[in-house]
């Protein structure tokens, strides 16, 4: 049974990943709050990824870094601290985690990592300057590490469009906003956390053995199509 570290597995997409893989993997969740579910395969560490020391784990087969931010403001209202905060949670937190667990991953069974970007790194969207800049750095990190760690460790990223999580609740707070969000996407839908979790599970699996350094746009057509 493989061992996976999921950073940010108590909510949203991270929680969907934990739930999907819990019966077939040993999951170590690292987050500030514990997941609601309990299972013999689940170990939880309360930890602020930016402030606290990360727990020691000897052997790791997969690493998923889920924390992110949706800090949407006009550029004249974004402070330097906003940019630093978004960069810290999306990039520095990922780097800290990867550096901590890289020795354990090297000892793993066909190990892989999954990071998270956003469609806003490819599609110019108003008010997304801070988060798009941070997630673009995640995409660069994904490609660079994919090359550096080949052939031992695969590294890929998922770039979702709006996903129905607490993080995106302000964008989906009433029926009109939900309808507008559906209409913006050529597939007339946005994402559910389970859809993203399924992609993460695939990328962690040996079915994706030939994939590394890739950014997977889960965009419901908003980046790919003009209809």
- The pLDDT of residue 38 is above 80: yes
- From CA 15, how far away is CA 30, in angstroms rounded? 11
What angle do the packed helices 93-106 and 129-149 form, to 10 degrees? 20
Which pLDDT score is estimated for 70?
Answer: 84
Q: Is the pTM of this model over 0.85?
A: yes
- The neighbouring-strand residues paired with 155 are 113
Instruction: Give tens-digit pLDDT for 63-116.
Output: 999 998 888 999 999 999 999 999 999 999 999 999 999 999 999 999 999 999
- The neighbouring-strand residues paired with 7 are 30, 65
For the ranges 167-171, 192-196, 222-226, the maximum mean pLDDT occurs at 192-196
Tell whether 10 is covered by a domain.
yes
Tell whether 180 is covered by a domain.
no
Tell whether 41 is covered by a domain.
yes
> Nearest-5° angle of CA 120, CA 76, CA 126?
25
Tell whether 187 is covered by a domain.
no
Tell whether 133 is covered by a domain.
yes
Tell whether 184 is covered by a domain.
no
Q: What CATH number is given to the structural domain containing 126? A: 3.40.50.720
Count of domains forming the chain: 1
Which range marks the domain in which residue 25 is found?
3-163+193-218
- The pLDDT of residue 195 is above 80: yes
- The pLDDT of residue 166 is above 90: no
Tell whether 152 is covered by a domain.
yes
Tell whether 181 is covered by a domain.
no
């Amino acid at each position: 049974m493989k061992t996976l570290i999921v950073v940010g597995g108590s909510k949203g997409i991270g929680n969907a990943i934990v739930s999907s893989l819990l019966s077939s993997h040993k999951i170590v969740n690292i987050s500030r709050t514990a997941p609601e579910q309990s299972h013999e395969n689940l170990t939880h560490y309360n930890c602020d990824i930016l402030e606290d020391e990360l727990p020691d784990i000897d052997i790791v087969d997969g690493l998923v870094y889920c924390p992110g931010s949706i800090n949407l403001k006009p550029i004249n209202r974004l402070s330097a601290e906003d940019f630093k905060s978004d960069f810290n949670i999306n990039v520095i937190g990922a780097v800290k985690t990867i550096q901590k667990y890289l020795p354990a991953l090297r000892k793993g069974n066909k190990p892989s990592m999954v990071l998270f970007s956003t469609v806003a790194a490819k599609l110019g969207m108003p008010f997304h300057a801070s988060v798009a800049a941070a997630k673009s750095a995640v995409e660069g990190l994904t490609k660079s590490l994919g090359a550096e760690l080949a052939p031992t460790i695969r590294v890929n990223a998922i770039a979702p469009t709006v996903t129905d999580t607490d993080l995106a609740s302000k964008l989906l707070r009433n029926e009109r906003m939900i309808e507008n969000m559906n209409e913006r996407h050529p597939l007339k839908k946005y994402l559910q956390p389970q859809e993203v979790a399924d992609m993460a599970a695939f990328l962690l699996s040996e079915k994706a053995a030939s994939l590394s350094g890739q950014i997977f746009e889960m965009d419901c057509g908003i980046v790919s199509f003009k209809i």
